[in-house]
């Protein structure tokens, strides 16, 4: 099973806030400059569609959703 990991490149962020409007459980903006930040880089599966929507709607293309294989538990 793969783990979805959210990455936001703060150097590309143009502070539009679309990510926060789309998925406030996953994204916020820094108070001092409005740059986006990730609240949880491994969101719950039920939030992944909204994260994808936030990534697609980001005017700076600063958000990526990466899929990584999960670690296998020994003996399991």
- Residues 37 and 7: their CA atoms lie apart, in Å, by 9
Q: Which domains does the chain show, CATH number per domain?
A: 2-69 (3.30.70.20)
User: How much of the chain exceeds pLDDT 70, in percent?
Assistant: 89
Supply the mean pLDDT for the chain.
Answer: 92
* Digit-coded pLDDT (tens) for 38-59: 999 999 999 999 999 999 999 9
pTM to 2 decimals? 0.86
DSSP code string of the chain: -EEEEEEE-TTT-----HHHHH-TTTEEE-TTT--EEES-SS--GGGHHHHHHHHHH-TT--EEEEEEEPPPPTT-
């Amino acid at each position: 099973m793969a783990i979805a990991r959210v990455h936001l490149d703060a150097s590309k962020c143009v502070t539009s806030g679309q990510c926060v409007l789309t998925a406030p459980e996953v994204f916020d903006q820094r108070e001092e400059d409005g740059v986006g930040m990730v609240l949880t880089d491994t969101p719950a599966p039920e939030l992944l569609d909204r994260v994808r929507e936030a990534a697609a709607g980001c005017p700076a293309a600063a958000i990526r959703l990466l899929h990584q294989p999960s670690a296998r538990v020994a003996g399991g």
